[in-house]
Amino acid sequence: MILSHWLRGYRWNMLTAPAGYPLNAKRSFLAVMSGYLINVATSRGGEVVRCALASKSEKAPVALLIGTVVTERLVDMLMLLLVCVTGLLVEFDHIYSFFQSFVLVPAAKAATTSNLLILLALIALLWFVLRMRKKSAAKKEAAQGGIAAIVSRFSAGLKSVFTLEKPLYFLFLSAAIWFCYMLSGYCLLQSLQITAHMHFGSAISLLIFSAVGIAIPLPAGAGVWGAISFGLTTVYGFNAGDAETFGIFNLAYQNLFSMLVGGICYLLYMVELRNIPAES
C-alpha cells in the first residue's frame, strides 16, 4: 500500500511538471498520505487538502493542482475499467452475475427513453442558463480577472495529461499503482482463514468491490465494507457472517493504515514546511 501511494505521488509530479510546477517527490508522497488521513473523516476532503499542502510547499496554484487531481481520477477510472475487463476474463463464472444484476440491468432500466429525454432537456437548460450568465457577466469578469485566472489554471491542470513528456511511462506507473492495490488485496485475503483459499484472481474481484464502495460518498470508507460484504455474499457464496467479518477487517485495516501512516506523514510534512525557508 505504501508503494502504491508513493507511486501516486510520483505520478502526480508528471502532471504538474509540464505546467511549470514540478513537485518534490518526497513532499508529494507526504501530501498524498496526508490526504488519505483526511479522507478517513471527510470521504473526499483529502483531495483538496493534499492540493493545499502542495501549494504551500511548492508554490503551485491550488486550482492547477486540483485540475491535475481531477485528471488523475479520470485516468484511474480508465484503469478501473481495465481491471473490470480483466476480472471478467479471469473470474467470469463468478463476477458476470454480479455485473449483470447490479451494473448492466440497472443501467438498462435507467436508460429509458423518458429518462434520456429528461437528461437532454436538463443539458439544454443548463447550456441556456450558462450562456445567459456568460453574457451578463462579461463586464464583471473583466473587473474580476482573478476568476478567469483560476479557471485557466484549473483548465491547464485538466489538460496536463496531453502534454506529458513520457506518456508511456505515465501509463506504466498507473498500471503499477493498481497492481499494488491488487497485491495488497491478495495479502489481505491470505491473512484470514475464511478467505485464505481464494487466489490472486479473487483479489481482482476484491478490488472491484472496493472501487464500487469508494464511489459511495461515506466517511471512513464505510461504503467499502458494505460493497465487499455484498460482493462476497452474492458472487462467491459466503455466508453473511463471514462476509461481514472480512468487510469489517478490511475497513479497519484501511482506516488504521490511513490514520497511522497518514498521521506520521502529516507531521513530517509540517517539518518539511518549516525547513523550506532554510533550504531556500
- Tens digit of each residue's pLDDT (9 = 90 or more) over 139-152: 554 444 556 666 77
Give the range of the structural domain holding residue 213, as residue numbers without chain letter: 2-279
pLDDT at 261 over 70: yes
Q: Are 273 and 57 in contact (CB under 8 A)?
A: yes
Q: What is the pLDDT of residue 143?
A: 46
pLDDT band of residue 168 (cuts 50, 70, 90) is: very high
Q: Write the single-letter amino acid at 13.
A: N
Distances (CA, A) of 230 to 125, 189, 209, 225: 38, 16, 8, 9
Give the residue with greater pLDDT, 94 vs 71: 71
pTM of the model: 0.76
pLDDT at 62 over 50: yes
Using CB atoms within 10 Å of the CB of residue 91, give its burial: 0 to 12 exposed, 13 to 18 middle, 19+ buried.
Answer: buried
Tell which phi-psi region holds residue 238, choosing left (phi > 0), alpha (psi between -120 and 50) or beta.
beta
pLDDT band of residue 174 (cuts 50, 70, 90) is: very high
pLDDT band of residue 213 (cuts 50, 70, 90) is: confident
Give the residue with greater pLDDT, 79 vs 123: 79
d(CA 146, CA 151): 9
pLDDT at 138 over 60: no
Give the residue with greater pLDDT, 26 vs 222: 26
- Positive or negative, the CA dihedral 182, 187, 188, 193 is positive
pLDDT at 134 over 60: yes
Q: What is the pLDDT of residue 177?
A: 95
Give the residue with greater pLDDT, 18 vs 115: 18
Q: Which residues contact 99 (CB under 8 A, 6 or more apart)?
A: 84, 88
Least confident of 77-91, 144-158, 244-258: 144-158
d(CA 164, CA 159): 10
Q: What element of type H or E holds 117? A: helix 113-136
Cell of 25: 517527490
pLDDT band of residue 170 (cuts 50, 70, 90) is: very high
Phi, psi angle pair for 21, to nearest 5°:
-130, 70
Number of domains in the chain: 1
Least confident of 74-78, 126-130, 186-190: 126-130
pLDDT band of residue 260 (cuts 50, 70, 90) is: very high
The CB-side HSE value for 127 (13 A sphere, CA atoms) comes to: 6
pLDDT band of residue 6 (cuts 50, 70, 90) is: very high
Residue recorded with cell 464500487? 212
The CA-based angle 269-275-280, given to 5 degrees, is 125
Phi, psi angle pair for 43, to nearest 5°:
75, -60
Q: Write the single-letter amino acid at 180.
A: C
The CA-based angle 238-239-241, given to 5 degrees, is 120
Cell of 105: 440491468
d(CA 121, CA 119): 5
Q: Are 189 and 203 in contact (CB under 8 A)?
A: yes
d(CA 8, CA 39): 16
- Positive or negative, the CA dihedral 77, 212, 39, 266 is negative
